[in-house]
Chains A and B, each alone.
Chain A
Amino acid sequence: MAKTYSKKSLVSQTMKPSKETISFLLGYSKALSIIKIHDKSFEIISN
């Protein structure tokens, strides 16, 4: 039987941000609108 000599990857496969972080960012993006009036920008977060 053939042997596998390659080492297991040391890099963790779970190198990902938490689900909460991602869902916060997507929610934040949906809620945020930026309006520019005369060189001034206003951030509006809708609930």
Chain B
Amino acid sequence: MVNIQLPDASLVKEYVAGNEDALAKLIKRHESKIYGFIYSKIPDRDITNDIFQDTFIKVIKTLKSNSYNEEGKFLPWVMRISHNLVVDHYRKTKKMPMFRETEEFSIFSIMSDDSLTIENKIIADQVQMDLQKLIEELPADQKEVLVMRMYQDMSFKEISESTGVSINTALGRMRYALMNLRKVIDKHQIVLTN
């Protein structure tokens, strides 16, 4: 008995016409070539099975929607689909490594953001403005020392040289400035926290 093997193009035609067995024959005929090709690129049985499956899902959809027009070149066409899916796989896994959130690992444990939130930034600005208003109310000599020390970052030696008073006087003025600020803050119950 002579075993006649139908060419791929005929099986494709039969399948498009509704013969589901033709697809089984096509898969049987080419499965090891296609599977081997994918496995040569991705040596992982599970991923290879997935890509093999996705390849034939595309093949089935294309054939069933009558969009296939490469008669006689069935295998190279399927190989091209699987090649594209292999490329897609590497694009997904290599370029964009994926971190899954688990109970033991959270992506936020290795990522940090030290900057203030918008709300905290607004509060900090508000505190600064309130404090500057209070400083404006201090006696001129105390205000001068406090501004030089806190905002211009000058040492008490520099302040004493610049204002023409002794270091002890500058220190005393600073002390009174802070005491006066505290008094005003307590008296009016101003909250200066962030």
**Which secondary structure characterizes the binding site on chain A?**
mixed
**Chain B binding surface SS class:** helix
Q: Is B35 an interface residue (CB 8 A)?
A: yes
The 8 Å CB contact of A26, one of B24, B32, B48, is: B24
- B31 near A22: Cβ-Cβ < 8 Å: yes
A11 at the binding interface (Cβ < 8 Å): yes
Contact B65 A29 (CB under 8 A): no
A26 CA / B21 CA spacing, docked (Å)? 9
Contact B35 A15, beta carbon cutoff 8 Å:
yes
Are the CB atoms of B60 and A25 closer together than 8 Å? yes
* Number of chain B interface residues as a range: 20 to 34
Closest to A22 in B: B27
Check if A16 sits within 8 Å of B61, measured CB to CB.
Answer: no
Is A26 a contact partner of B23 (Cβ separation < 8 A)? yes
Interface residues of B in 103-156 (CB under 8 A from A): none
Per the bound structure, the CA–CA distance linking A24 and B23 in Å amounts to 13
**With known contacts A15-B32, A16-B31, A34–B64 Cβ distance under 8 A:** yes
Do A15 and B57 form a contact, CB below 8 Å, given A22-B27, A26-B20, A32-B64?
no
Name 10 A/B residue pairs within 8 A (Cβ), A-sorted: A15-B35, A15-B36, A17-B31, A17-B48, A17-B49, A18-B49, A24-B53, A25-B53, A28-B60, A29-B60
- Chain B interface (Cβ within 8 Å of chain A)? 20, 23-24, 27, 31-32, 35-36, 39, 45, 48-49, 52-53, 56-57, 60-61, 64-66
